Amino acid sequence: MMHPDTEIRYVSEEVGVGVFATKLIPKGTIVWIKDELDMILTEEYIKSLDDLRKEYINKYTYLDTDGIYILHWDHAKYMNHSFNPNCVDTAYDFQLAAIDIQPGEQLTSDYGACGEDEEFECIPEEETSRTKVTANDYLIYYAEWDEMAREAFKYFNAVKQPLKHLIREQYIDKVNAVANGTVPLDSILTLFIDDEDGK
């Protein structure tokens, strides 16, 4: 589920639409969280679909570390990629605002953190030499993303969290401990390592 203070807006002909803040979303706020309304689709099921629906699914789903495809039920599926994202993934099935996101500002995330299985070229951006998302980005940039998440977590308890009640039960104690500074943040890399090891 996306933060309630967001909406879909037109970006450009090249990009299409994106997700924008309607009010200030402070650093450390959960901006998106996986919830039970998100559709879980297996590869077998997707292969059984007609070409038109397959095209939509391929565009708007992401591959979970458990090897299943997730289709968001709300406008989270319209969140665009950036190599300079203002939202950061965590190992706890949610994203945090990495900076204060101003009203009217587009929310973006780095698709490399999803472990995309196909490379794709991206729209050129300032302040980065990256031009494409690759399947191995998570191995290269995980420490940078972890640091962004660590910094955002410092503000977790100081800001309103309208999506906090959706944190999965298995993560609640850990998230609270990380936010309180009593345990270290789990690296996003652990999601991929555990998946590769079959754990």
* pLDDT (0 to 100) of residue 199: 41
* pLDDT (0 to 100) of residue 198: 43
* 157 located within any domain: yes
Mind listing the pLDDT tens digit for each residue in 73-127?
999 999 998 989 999 999 999 999 999 999 999 999 998 887 656 677 777 777 8
**Percentage of the chain modeled with pLDDT above 70:** 93
Contact by Cβ (8 Å): 69, 9: no
Q: Which residue is associated with the tokens 């977590």? A: 153
* 23 located within any domain: yes
* pLDDT (0 to 100) of residue 12: 92
Count of structural domains, the chain: 1
* pLDDT (0 to 100) of residue 190: 85
* pLDDT (0 to 100) of residue 197: 46
* 61 located within any domain: no
Of 59, 68, 91, 79, residue with least CA distance to 190: 91
178 class by beta-carbon count within 10 Å (0-12 exposed, 13-18 middle, 19+ buried): buried
* 78 located within any domain: yes
Mind listing the pLDDT tens digit for each residue in 124-161?
777 877 867 777 888 888 999 999 999 999 999 999 99
Q: How far is CA 137 from the centre of its chain?
A: 14
pLDDT (average), residues 58-70: 80
Residue ranges of alpha helices (H) inside 50-166 are 51-60, 137-153
* 53 located within any domain: no
* Calpha distance 56→40 (Å, rounded): 15
What residues have CB less than 8 Å from 53, skipping those under 6 apart? Answer: none
- Give the dihedral of Cα atoms 22, 23, 28, 30; nearest 10 deg: -40
Average pLDDT, whole number, for the chain? 90
* 17 located within any domain: yes
Mind listing the pLDDT tens digit for each residue in 158-186?
999 999 999 999 999 999 999 999 999 99
CATH value at residue 106: 2.170.270
- 40: tokens are 């879980």
* 55 located within any domain: no
* pLDDT (0 to 100) of residue 117: 64
* pLDDT (0 to 100) of residue 194: 55
* 43 located within any domain: no
Determine the structural domain holding residue 106 and report its residue range.
6-38+73-197
